[in-house]
Amino acid sequence: MNSKALSRKKIAIRLLYTILFLIVFKIIKIIIQVSVIFQYGYLLILKTYNNPIRNFSNKVSVYAYRVLRYATLNENEKPFPFDNFPKEIELPDREVFFE
């Protein structure tokens, strides 16, 4: 912590934002689960993956990471919609292997 005095009001406001983002995180978790099930269903039927779903899942994963960083006090910038939707940290692998 730095030398700035913390006010209970600012802490309470941050706590309320954190609770909001934890609710958003639960929704994100459901979205990721649905996209994973859809991707594997698509993969089983067509024997190839769906690139738009892969890219979407990658972006949602980065957003979930940002939400968790904010909730755990490791980041000060509020996630989307209070900031821009995060860009991809790293691109998906070009090819997926199954062993």
For the chain (length 99 residues), average pLDDT per consecutive 10? 72 94 95 95 91 89 92 89 72 71
Asked if 78 and 70 count as a contact pair (C-beta separation under 8 A), the reply is: yes
- Give pTM, 2 decimals: 0.77
Sign of CA dihedral 67, 22, 59, 85: negative
Place of tokens 């979407």: 56
Report pLDDT for 71. Answer: 94
Report pLDDT for 97. Answer: 66
